[in-house]
Amino acid sequence: MKKVACVGILVADVIVEPVHNYPEKGVLEPVNSITMHNGGNAMTAAINLRKLGVESVMVGMVGDDMFGEFLKGRLDKAGVDTCGLKVSDKAQTSASVLMIDKTGERSFFHCTGTNAVFANEDIDMSAVEKCDMVFVTGSFLMDTFDGEDTMEFLKKCKEMGKTTFLDVCWDAKGQWGKLLDMSMPYIDYLMPSIDEAVLIAGKGDVDDIADVFMSKGAKNVIIKVGSKGSYLRKEGETKGTLYPPFFVENPVDTTGAGDSFCSGFLAAYAKGKTPEECMVFANATGAHCVMAKGATTGIKSFDEIMKFIEDKKA
């Protein structure tokens, strides 16, 4: 079985709920709970992979503070190899405060912290060397690593014979393709959501989007298309295929669904499944994510999700 390096962002999420109104200065407003959770695309993927029975290595940066200690503790508890996790005094650990009102709507305060200063030079390539697959995730939220650093890192990975995967986040600065295009020739599987893909490619149709990405060098294109499921266009194909989603009645929380989809694809790929089988498993993993609160809580074992797929076929 293959081992996966998850490279990118980690975030400590402090969740406050329910927030009925914002207190005036100096006034205390009682709430039912204030809890801390792990977040960030790369950390979520690393933990999900362990839950799915695949070895993972966390490559990223936290600060020398209580948030960093918390995140490392969660990784250790999940069985993730943290040999690639750097503890730095350059900045505080990335953290968010999520305020959830009684309807479930969320408002955020966010500090980018160490995710913003994490750079190519911070990566211990010996941690990557022990892996067969490299998943870069959180692109467009890593101010220093985005762009040339990502390209140089992926180029090194390809020179080392690794299979590379990349997912992005929303680019609030609007640079999109300017940051990503240079990395395309070193990406084996590009895995954005449809909203992000449209803005990176400048096209609206999934086949047209895949044309753009492949013309720039990406080998295979996967697009998460929400309620329509997911799309795969393999190297050498002129048209892609849509894979329908698994329906979930009364979803609890959509946090991390896209990351869970990617985790499912990576896990199935690591276990030797075909890309087509990986797509089905990825959709099922994403469905499990929304069945429970939190980015990793709903993820079951590989065998349990396979049984879920077989039961849905029956």
In terms of phi and psi (left: phi > 0; alpha: psi -120 to 50; beta: otherwise), the region of 34 is beta
Residues contacting 155, CB < 8 A, separation 6+: 186
Check residue 209 and give its pLDDT: 97
Report pLDDT for 232. 98
Please give the CATH architecture assigned to the domain spanning 4-21+31-309.
3-Layer(aba) Sandwich (3.40)
158: helix, coil or strand? helix
User: Can you give the pLDDT of all 314 residues of the chain as single tens digits?
Assistant: 799 999 999 999 998 989 988 889 999 999 999 999 888 999 999 999 999 999 999 999 999 999 999 999 999 999 999 999 999 999 999 999 988 888 777 788 999 999 999 999 999 999 999 999 999 999 999 999 999 999 999 999 999 999 999 999 988 888 998 999 999 999 999 999 999 999 999 999 999 999 999 999 999 999 999 889 999 999 999 999 999 987 766 655 556 677 889 999 999 999 999 999 999 999 999 876 655 565 566 677 888 889 878 887 76
- Euclidean distance between CA atoms 294 and 253, whole angstroms: 7
| CA-to-CA dists, residue 53 to 4, 47, 267, 308, angstroms | 11, 10, 8, 16
Burial class (CB in 10 A: 0-12, 13-18, 19+), 36: middle
For residue 260, the model assigns a pLDDT of 87
Helix (H) or strand (E) holding 65: none
Strand spans (E) along 29-80:
33-39, 56-63
pLDDT at 147: 97
Count CA atoms closer than 13 A to 49's CA, side-chain side: 34
Tokens at 259, concatenated: 């990351």
CA distance 3 to 207: 31
Taking the whole predicted model, whether its pTM rises above 0.75 is answered as yes
DSSP string covering 229-286, please?
Answer: -EEEE-TT-SS-EEEPPPP-SS----TTHHHHHHHHHHHHHHTT--HHHHHHHHHHHH
Question: Whose CA is closest to 268, among 286, 249, 248, 247?
Answer: 286
Give the start-to-end residue ranges of the domains of the chain.
Answer: 4-21+31-309
pLDDT at 167: 96
Do residues 186 and 220 touch, judged by C-beta distance below 8 A? Answer: no
Alpha carbon distance 286, 251 (integer Å): 11
Length of the chain: 314
pLDDT of residue 309: 85
81 backbone dihedrals φ, ψ, rounded to 5°: -75, 120
Q: Return the SS3 of 43.
A: helix
**Pairing mode, if any, of strands 230-233 and 241-243?**
antiparallel
